[in-house]
């Protein structure tokens, strides 16, 4: 992600993260536990990203959670996808299994039942939106768990494997069949 993209993404967090208020990210539960978010942070992008991380990656390592957040933010920065965090996450919602993130269109109601897990992914979302985490996925715009093998994965360059997720960058041109 370029510096310009990071600056653009920082604008999604309100209030803005003051430079120097977040130390170097170490991708550990211990580091996140020591991070205190402002109590009054209420932001639609932060809420959408936190929920996506909860339902898509709460069982992953901290590094894996940051990688999933990075994919979502890479999509926001791409002209191929909606230009908001919530827009990316809810793209295709309403058509069963035609969405980008299954939890938004699988027909099952989603409830946050694990407060501790949600607090952790909320911190991951906040730091990710602040743009201070180092890139982990080499520009990935897609991912899947190792338990599935989607047809698109054969056409996309694999960029990383972190935990149970495999990450891919959308090719500049996907061959049509």
**Could you give the CA distance from residue 122 to residue 4 in angstroms, rounded to a whole number?**
24
What's the pTM value of the predicted model, to 2 decimals?
A: 0.84
Q: Tell me the two tokens of residue 80.
A: 């191929």
43-137 CATH, one of 3.40.50.300, 3.40.50.970, 1.10.10.2520, 3.40.50.180: 1.10.10.2520
Q: From residue 51, how far is each of 85, 99, 154 by CA, in Å?
A: 11, 15, 29
Lowest mean pLDDT among 46-50, 62-66, 105-109, 157-161: 105-109
- 125 pLDDT band, cuts 50/70/90, is very high
- 15 pLDDT band, cuts 50/70/90, is very low
pLDDT at 11: 47
Across the chain, how many H-helices and E-strands are there? Answer: 6, 3
**Could you give the CA distance from residue 1 to residue 138 in angstroms, rounded to a whole number?**
8
């Amino acid at each position: 992600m370029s510096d310009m993209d990071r600056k653009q993404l920082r604008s999604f967090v309100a209030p803005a993260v003051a430079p120097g208020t977040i130390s170097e990210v170490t991708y550990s539960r211990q580091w996140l536990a020591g991070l205190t978010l402002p109590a009054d942070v209420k932001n639609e992008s932060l809420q959408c990203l936190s929920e996506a991380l909860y339902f898509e990656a709460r069982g992953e390592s901290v590094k894996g959670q940051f990688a999933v957040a990075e994919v979502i933010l890479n999509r926001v920065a791409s002209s191929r996808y909606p230009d908001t965090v919530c827009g990316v996450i809810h793209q295709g919602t309403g058509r069963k299994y035609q969405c980008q993130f299954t939890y938004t269109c699988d027909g099952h109601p989603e409830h946050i039942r694990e407060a501790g897990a949600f607090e952790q992914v909320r911190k991951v979302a906040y730091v990710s939106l602040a743009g201070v985490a180092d890139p982990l996925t080499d520009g990935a715009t897609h991912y899947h768990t190792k338990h599935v093998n989607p047809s698109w994965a054969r056409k996309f360059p694999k960029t990383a494997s972190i935990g149970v997720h495999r990450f891919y960058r959308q090719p500049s041109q996907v061959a049509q069949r």
